[in-house]
Amino acid sequence: MPLLRVKKEVLQWAEKYQKTIDIRKGKPQKGDIAVFQCGPYHLRRHIAKKETGKLTEIVRQDNYKAIIPTATSLKEALEYLQRLYGETDGVFTAYYLFCDSDEHLNSK
C-alpha cells in the first residue's frame, strides 16, 4: 500500500477527484491502494494501473491536468514536479487512481 505524503492542496485535489494520477520518483511500490497523507488526514484511492518511465514519458499532453489540476500547460506541470523533486532524471512512477464513490477522507 503506497503511502503518499502530500501537501494540503494535493489532498484537496484528490478528495475532489480532480487529481487522478499521482507521480512519484522511483520504482512502483507494492499494493493496489494508495494512501494520501497530509498531517492527521488521509485519503485512500484504489490504483487502477502503474506506469514507470522517465518523467517526460509519463507526463504527457493528454494527462498533465489529471496530475496537476491547476496547470495550464504541460510545461507548467513538469515545472511543478521539477520544483517538488529537484530533478527530472531517473525513474518515476505514475499511479493511475480509480474514482470510487465509497472512498472518503479520514482522520487518524
The residue ranges of every structural domain in the chain are: 3-100
Flag whether pLDDT at 103 surpasses 60: no
Mean pLDDT of 76-96: 93
The CB-side HSE value for 31 (13 A sphere, CA atoms) comes to 12
Q: Between 46 and 101, name the one with better pLDDT.
A: 46
Report d(CA 32, CA 96) in Å as an integer: 10
Coil, strand or helix at 15: helix
Residues 6+ apart with CB under 8 A from 52: 27, 28, 58, 91, 92, 93, 94
Flag whether pLDDT at 73 surpasses 90: yes
Q: For the chain, what percent of residues have pLDDT higher than 70?
A: 92
Q: What's the predicted TM-score (pTM) here? A: 0.86
Mean pLDDT of 94-99: 90
For residue 75, the model assigns a pLDDT of: 97
For residue 13, the model assigns a pLDDT of: 92
Q: Name the fold adopted by 3-100.
A: 2.30.130
